[in-house]
Amino acid sequence: MSFPTERPRRLRRTPTLRRMVRETSLSADDLIWPMFVKSKGEDEPIKSMPGVARYNAKRAAKEAKVAFSEGIPAVILFGIPDKKDAIGSSSWQKDGVVQRAVKAIKDAVPEMIVICDVCLCEYTDHGHCGVIKGETVDNDATLELLAKQALSFLHAGADIIAPSDMMDGRVGFIRSEMDEAGFREHAIMAYSAKYASAFYSPFREAAGSAPGFGDRKGYQMDPANSREALREVLLDVEEGADIVMVKPALAFMDIISLVKESTDIPVAAYNVSGEYSMVKAATMAHAINEEQIVMEILTGFKRAGADLILTYHARDAVKWMQG
């Protein structure tokens, strides 16, 4: 049977009809707001990411509290430390930038879920995600340091640990160190399918974490691969991940949907810095309608299979959802 018996337009006739047959809906509950935290001083806007700034702990707590009252359930924190060294030791100090921000946020709004990104790149003077041996990042020597960092964030009050380093075996290693330290009930959100992507450059300005030499292709995934993403995801699930992530999101919607079909744990999609900056630049050039574009992009992630979305648009999106 086809036209004229079939007429799909019949269900598109009015806004209410469209509302009734809509397959995907966005909710504030799905959003995770990324924040950059530093040790002191005024808010520092990130040039390439209009609307995003680095906050000190006190300001981060204030903003997080407002975000929670607007409906955003969770933040993910990235630290900009005062000091960097070869092994990223400032990331596991008791009074480190992230530790202080976690405490301040949990004090101000205890119900909010605080996620901590675990990686060395923001804390190393060479900008790589692990320790360097010769010209490469030493996988196994890095695991110990990542676990140290994760435990330090947990002791400060973090709810979820999110390793983004892409070392092999890190989820299992961190999981067993967490269990041993008594954090058995704390979850891991693994950056499982994380690609070596050009979409991260504004983040690297924001976090001051561009690699000093070479690139990250020796540990992050090749954007040409999808079966490998599945392998990474299944390994992380086996190692104890509670949530798996696909990153970036826009050019990797097929991966989001593949991962969703292949796992039964929540899937997160990271709408990364470059994706945000492109929308902002096009908005400022009056080429697009920001609200409509952002809602379409976020709905697309959900339709593809994302249960959770990490996005710098979170605060705006929540306002737009409420109309």
Single out the segment in contact with ligand PBG by CB under 6 A; choices: 8-16, 59-67, 114-122, 135-143. Answer: 114-122
Minimum CB distance to ligand PBG smaller for 109 or for 216: 216
Minimum CB separation from ligand PBG for residue 266, in Å? 18
Active-site position among 194, 260, 280, 302: 194
Q: Is 117 in the site for ligand PBG (CB under 6 A)?
A: yes
Pick one of 123, 200, 252, 301: the residue that binds ligand PBG (CB under 6 A): 200
Return d(Cα 271, Cα 260) in angstroms, integer: 17
62 is catalytic: no
Q: How many CA atoms lie within 13 A of 242 on its CB side?
A: 13
Scanning 146-154, 179-187, 197-205, 249-257 for contacts with ligand PBG by CB under 6 A, the matching segment is: 197-205
**Closer of 68 and 200 to ligand PBG (Cβ):** 200
Beta strands in the chain (DSSP E): 31-38, 44-45, 53-55, 74-80, 113-118, 132-133, 136-137, 160-163, 187-194, 243-247, 267-271, 308-311
Is 194 an active-site residue? Answer: yes
> What is the pattern of x (binds ligand PBG, CB under 6 A) and - over residues 72-111?
----------------------------------------
* Closer of 113 and 262 to ligand PBG (Cβ): 113
User: Angle 57-70/314-321 helices, nearest 10 degrees?
Assistant: 20
User: Judged by CB under 6 A, which stretch of 11-19, 133-141, 200-208, 286-294 contacts ligand PBG?
Assistant: 200-208
> Could you say whether residue 153 binds ligand PBG (CB under 6 A)?
no
Of 38, 103, 148, 247, which is the active-site residue?
Answer: 247
Rounded distance, CA 72 to CA 67, Å?
6
Provide the angle, in degrees to the nearest 10, between the axes of the packed helices 253-262 and 227-238.
Answer: 40
Span from 21-29, 116-124, 141-149, 151-159 in contact with ligand PBG (CB under 6 A): 116-124
* Residue 162 buriedness (CB in 10 A; 0-12 / 13-18 / 19+): buried
Tell the smallest beta-carbon distance from residue 261 to ligand PBG (Å): 25
Q: Are 127 and 172 contacting, i.e. CB atoms less than 8 angstroms apart?
A: no
CB 296 within 8 A of CB 317: no
Cβ contact 80:55 at 8 Å: no
Binding to ligand PBG (CB under 6 A): which residues in 247-286? 272-273
User: Which strand (E) or helix (H) includes residue 122?
Assistant: none
Distance CA 117, CA 23 (A): 32
Least distance CB 138 / ligand PBG (angstroms): 17
Judged by CB under 6 A, which stretch of 67-75, 95-103, 117-125, 235-243 contacts ligand PBG? Answer: 117-125
Q: Which residues contact 171 (CB under 8 A, 6 or more apart)?
A: 163, 188, 190, 235, 236, 239, 240, 241
Tell me how far, at minimum, the Cβ of 268 lies from ligand PBG, in Å: 12
119 Cβ contact partners less than 8 Å away, ≥ 6 residues apart: 129, 146, 163, 164, 165
Cis (ω within 30 of 0) for the bond into 202? no
Q: With binding defined as CB under 6 A, does residue 192 bind ligand PBG?
A: no
Which spans of this chain sit near ligand PBG (rule: CB under 6 A)? 117, 119, 121-122, 164, 200, 203-204, 272-273
Catalytic residues: 194, 247
